[in-house]
Amino acid sequence: MKELTVKEKALQKLQSCECIKLTDSDVLLLLTCECGKTCNILDMYKCLYCDIYRCKACSEEHFGTTVDDWRASFLARTCQKIKRMLGVV
């Protein structure tokens, strides 16, 4: 597993969280990104290595690719795997 940088360790400790009760069974969990933007946790991306949630813009910078580019690459790889399993390629 990758060693966390000093910045990533600090972000883990500082990432603030707010829980808002909407109804008896529904809650809204808001996290603050490193850029200062507060977002619904469902609209954020979590790095599996540094365990930090980021907004879309910060996650694209962190991961080095846009969400749309990653999605297109993932779909292309998945289609190739399915074709190989079916013996089409």
- Number of Cβ atoms within 10 Å of the Cβ of 9: 13
Higher-confidence position of 76 and 7: 76
Does 10 fall in a domain? yes
Query: Does the residue 89 lie in any domain?
Result: no
Lowest mean pLDDT among 15-19, 30-34, 55-59: 15-19
pLDDT tens digits, one per residue of 21-41: 878 878 888 998 989 899 999
- State whether residue 39 is helix, strand or coil: strand
Tell me which residue has tokens 């008896």.
24
Helix (H) or strand (E) holding 19: strand 17-21
Q: In terms of residue numbers, what domain contains 45?
A: 6-64
Task: For residue 28, tell me if it sits in a domain.
Answer: yes
Q: What pTM, to 2 d.p., does this model score?
A: 0.63
